[in-house]
């Protein structure tokens, strides 16, 4: 039997409609809208698409959001100066610097940005102060993708406590924070990465498997225990025709769209997993919309907390 599809887009709509009410009452009480400032350095096509959908979602939600785009050749000092200006601006509630930064800014540039963002405006939850609070289970601003995954599990009535969760990937953005959130919810958590021996066998012990490794179709049938819940965080752009036909299926609507456009976005999880898993998030339409919904949530929380000060 095919796995239940966990409809992230529907859950995201539900979260956003709950938020819309809170945004209206914030505006009524504060006399202003929550305000999000997004910084994009360079013009990487995928990042531009993500940023546009964050801006659109904010405006649908009644959040005042705008983008400052800096040239790819900008120095790290210029980026940090902009962040300091936004920190000092009392009208700004949330600051998001889109990752990755251009490689010309050097290794560690993103960490310097996170060291500079005011933790009270850190809607990504990536500053050292907020990462520390997350580890201590007292974070108000939790990284958006991991927070969205927990919302999806809760709202789909999937039990977390007492279950074995395996996370593939150890990034600061997804792997480490989702492991921490699942641990706080009393799962037994294993984190796998590129040096994990026999990764498939470890993954196949999971009741809840989260893949955030960024490799198209990496998670195959032998990685998945029968009935497991599989959360696919991968957003991988495929341009190779053979890979696309294997992952999208010849003759499918998505394959036809690939043939027209020359590219398609696929997850980390191979479609054959659907025959084994109990539940599965699709790509697109799974975790992606939840990330954006939780960014709106964090912007509102940051605004509410700053207003109370």
Q: How far is the CB of 63 from ligand GUN (least distance, A)?
A: 16
Q: Which of 14, 69, 99, 156 binds ligand GUN (CB under 6 A)?
A: 99
Q: How far is the CB of 248 from ligand GUN (least distance, A)?
A: 23
| Cα–Cα dist 161/146, whole Å | 16
Residue 229 bridge partners (DSSP): 208, 279
Active site residue 225: no
Nearest to 236 by CA among 280, 266, 269, 281: 266
Is 171 one of the binding residues for ligand GUN (CB under 6 A)? Answer: no
Q: Which of 93, 98, 122, 232 is catalytic?
A: 98
Q: How many CB atoms lie within 10 A of CB 258?
A: 22
The three-state secondary structure class of 275 is: helix
Q: How far is the CB of 174 from ligand GUN (least distance, A)?
A: 8
Task: Sketch the per residue contact string, 119 through 138, with ligand GUN: x for CB under 6 A, - otherwise.
Answer: -----x--------------
Active site residue 98: yes
Number of residues that bind ligand GUN (CB under 6 A): 9
End-to-end CA distance of the chain: 53
Measured from the CB atom, the residue of 206 and 289 that comes closer to ligand GUN is 289
Q: Which of 54, 121, 176, 225 is catalytic?
A: 54
Point out which span in 15-23, 68-76, 90-98, 195-203 binds ligand GUN (CB under 6 A): 90-98
Residue in the structure block whose two tokens are 């202003």: 32
Q: Which of 19, 117, 131, 144 binds ligand GUN (CB under 6 A)?
A: 144
Is 98 one of the binding residues for ligand GUN (CB under 6 A)? Answer: yes
Measured from the CB atom, the residue of 126 and 223 that comes closer to ligand GUN is 126
Is 96 one of the binding residues for ligand GUN (CB under 6 A)? Answer: yes
| Cα–Cα dist 225/206, whole Å | 7
| Helical axes 128-135 vs 175-184, angle rounded to 10° | 30
Between the CA of residue 245 and those of 66, 213, 217, 261, 281, what are the distances in Å? Answer: 38, 21, 12, 14, 20
| Cα–Cα dist 82/112, whole Å | 13
Q: Which of 64, 93, 122, 124 is catalytic?
A: 124
Q: Which residues bind ligand GUN (CB under 6 A)?
A: 96-99, 124, 144-145, 173, 291
User: What residues are labeled active site?
Assistant: 54, 98, 124
């Amino acid at each position: 039997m095919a796995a239940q599809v966990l409809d992230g887009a529907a859950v995201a709509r539900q979260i956003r409609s709950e938020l819309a009410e809170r945004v209206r009452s914030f505006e009524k009480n504060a006399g202003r809208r929550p305000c999000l400032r997004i910084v994009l350095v360079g013009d990487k096509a995928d990042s531009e698409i993500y940023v546009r959908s964050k801006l659109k979602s904010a405006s649908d939600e009644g959040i005042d959001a705008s983008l400052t785009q800096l040239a790819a050749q900008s120095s790290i000092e210029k980026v940090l100066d902009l962040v300091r200006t936004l920190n000092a601006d009392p009208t700004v509630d949330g600051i998001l610097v889109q990752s990755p930064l251009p490689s010309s800014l050097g290794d560690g540039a993103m960490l310097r940005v996170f060291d500079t963002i005011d933790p009270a405006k850190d809607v990504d939850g990536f500053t050292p102060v907020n990462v520390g609070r997350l580890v201590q289970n007292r974070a108000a601003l939790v990284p958006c993708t991991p927070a969205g995954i927990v919302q999806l599990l809760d709202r789909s009535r999937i039990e977390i406590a007492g279950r074995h969760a395996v996370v593939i990937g150890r990034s600061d953005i997804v792997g480490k924070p989702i492991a921490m959130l699942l641990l706080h919810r009393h799962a037994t958590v294993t984190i796998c990465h590129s040096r994990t021996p026999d990764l498939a066998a470890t993954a196949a012990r999971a009741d809840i498997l989260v893949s955030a490794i960024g490799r198209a179709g990496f998670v195959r049938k032998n990685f998945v225990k029968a009935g497991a819940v599989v959360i696919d965080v991968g957003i991988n752009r495929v341009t190779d025709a053979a890979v696309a036909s294997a992952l999208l299926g010849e003759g499918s609507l998505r394959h036809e769209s690939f043939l027209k456009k020359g590219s398609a976005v696929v997850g980390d999880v191979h479609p054959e997993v659907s025959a084994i898993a109990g539940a599965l998030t699709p790509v697109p339409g799974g975790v992606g919309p939840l990330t954006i919904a939780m960014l709106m949530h964090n912007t509102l929380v940051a605004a509410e907390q700053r207003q109370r000060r």
